[in-house]
Amino acid sequence: MDGAKRIIFHIDANSAYLSWTAADRLNRGDTLDLRTAPAVIAGDPDDRHGIILAKSIPAKRFGIVTGESLSSARGKCRELLVYPPDYELYMDCSQAMYEILQEYSPVVQRYSIDECFLDFTESEKRFGGAEQTAEQIRERMREELGFTVNVGVGPNKLLAKMAGELRKPDAAETIWPWEIRDKLWPLPVRELFMVGRATEEKLRRVNIRTIGDLAQTDPGYLKTVFHSHGGLIHRYANGLDDEPVTANADIFQKGVGNSATMRYDLTEPEEISRALLALCERVGMRLRRLQYTASLVGISLKTDGFIRRSHQRELSCTTDSTTELYRCSEQLFFECWKGEPIRQAGVFVSHLSFAGQRQLSLFQQDWEREERVDQAVDRIRKKFGDGAVMRGSFANTGRAPLLGGVHEGRYIMMGGYEQ
């Protein structure tokens, strides 16, 4: 079998968004663990973001599923607790998980915000048995970070990931080559990685219902029906995968973005400009927090007719200044706006560099002053909250000085957001 001599871990945070929110609230003195109550993470319906992003196990028992509307979920559970996503918190939790994993191997691959692969092959000499170490990692996550993970162990990435799905939550499992027949093959074929809904339906038509059925089907026939994809899923059904774990220790982001769907369609240039500034506030804060500067700025928009447009521009030098990002974003937006009501707007930056490598322009006269202002504002907001300081253009307007990212202050009431 490919990669039979390797030992690969797959670590997956359980109900990550909800679990991380719950752990943070407990750490701040809350007496209720959201994981024990019918609770969900969802966007504010007043902002037209009312979609379930994560759910607790008690919420799942009411039939609530990820991706459904918040109004539908409330119809299933009148006592539903609703909390907003906090992406800065989630990145912190993800990073904390990643740093613990780095103690066990230098080869850790961040697969997503809540999933990592770890190559334990060489580390076994130091830490001992794979199963014992997997249990140790699971326990450390719970005790040190306050949330639970599933740890799957196998000879390759595929089997490690499949092993982690066998028992949830808070469990460690293995699928070794000699366990494939008993642990992998009885599973419904839809459980196999890379078998989507359309593929599952085609397989069912030819009476392939389990992963074992797929594994024992003639690969030539599968290639005839599914082309190259047929060969891939046949290999996966037999536990074959030779993809390496690729370390991404720096976790260098390709870009930083922020978008928001407006409470109502924006039609006036002044209110559009104010919304862009509120979006740039969050982008600038994220850049500085990550210690990046950017040399490409872009905007996106969606009209009330769901027409999408985007526009971007390369800057003459890198920046993390909120003011500079806003100036460029506003110019870009009004270059491509045709006067329609705006339902959604976004600001994104790319071509990132580390802040210590900042390239300056001779025409950037006030960058030091802007840098000091931004840093002072960041410190105040970090200590007292995002609403502690705002730009004068938001005073007495009733408009949020920051859009996107964290939604605060309107979500702690039983049954959802305050009205």
92, part of any domain: yes
Same domain, 219 and 318: no
Domain co-membership, 224 together with 321: no
Amino acid at position 6, single letter = R
Are 160 and 126 in the same domain? yes
Tokens encoding 415? 């049954």
Q: Choose between 90 and 100: higher pLDDT.
A: 100
Q: Could you tell me if residue 369 is inside a domain?
A: yes
- Out of 71-75, 241-245, 369-373, least confident range: 369-373
Query: Which range has the worst mean pLDDT, 1-15, 111-125, 127-141, 321-335?
Result: 1-15
Which of 177, 198, 217 corresponds to the end of one domain?
177
Q: Are 171 and 215 contained in the same domain? A: no
Q: Are 159 and 175 in contact (CB under 8 A)?
A: yes
**pLDDT grade for 41, boundaries at 50, 70 and 90:** very high
CATH number of the domain residue 263 falls in: 3.30.1490.100
Residue 410 maps to a domain = no
Q: Is the domain of 160 the same as that of 19? A: yes
- Tell whether 42 and 69 lie within a shared domain: yes
Indicate whether 32 pLDDT > 60: yes
108 beta partners: 118
Residues that are catalytic: 115
What distances in angstroms separate CA 58 from CA 38, 62, 77, 256, one per listed residue? 5, 7, 10, 34
Number of domains in the chain: 3
CATH of residue 196: 1.10.150.20
Q: What is the pLDDT of residue 314?
A: 87
Claim to verify: residue 131 and residue 165 sit in the same structural domain: yes
Residue 155 lies inside a defined structural domain of this protein: yes
Cis before 169 (ω within 30): yes
Confidence of residue 269 (pLDDT cuts 50, 70, 90): very high
Give domain status of residue 282, yes or no.
yes
Q: What is the pTM of this model?
A: 0.66
Q: Is residue 400 part of a domain?
A: no
Shared-domain flag, residues 32 and 169:
yes
Query: Does position 175 have pLDDT exceeding 90, yes or no?
Result: yes
Q: Are residues 9 and 153 in the same domain?
A: yes
Q: Is residue 411 part of a domain?
A: no
Query: How far is Cα 369 from Cα 245, in angstroms, rounded to an integer?
Result: 44
Picking from 158, 177, 196, the residue at the C-terminal end of a domain is 177
Q: How confident is the model at residue 415 (pLDDT cuts 50, 70, 90)?
A: very low
AA letter at 15: S
Q: Pick from 159, 177, 195: which residue ends a domain? A: 177
Cβ neighbours around 318 below 10 Å, total: 24
What type of residue sits at position 32? L
The whole domain housing 303 covers 255-394
pLDDT band at residue 246 under the 50/70/90 scheme: confident
Question: In 3-state terms, the chain is what percent helix, strand and coil (to 5)?
Answer: 45, 20, 35
Higher pLDDT, 305 or 157: 157
User: What does the pLDDT read at residue 418?
Assistant: 32
For residue 133, pLDDT beyond 90? yes
Question: What does the pLDDT average to over 348-363?
Answer: 65
Rounded mean pLDDT of 256-268? 84
More confident residue, 412 or 405: 405
Say yes or no: 31 and 62 in one domain.
Answer: yes
| Residues 10 and 115 both lie in one domain | yes
Provide the CB-side half-sphere exposure for 262 (13 A, CA): 23
Burial class for 340, CB neighbours closer than 10 Å (0-12, 13-18, 19+) = middle
Residues 271 and 331 in one domain: yes
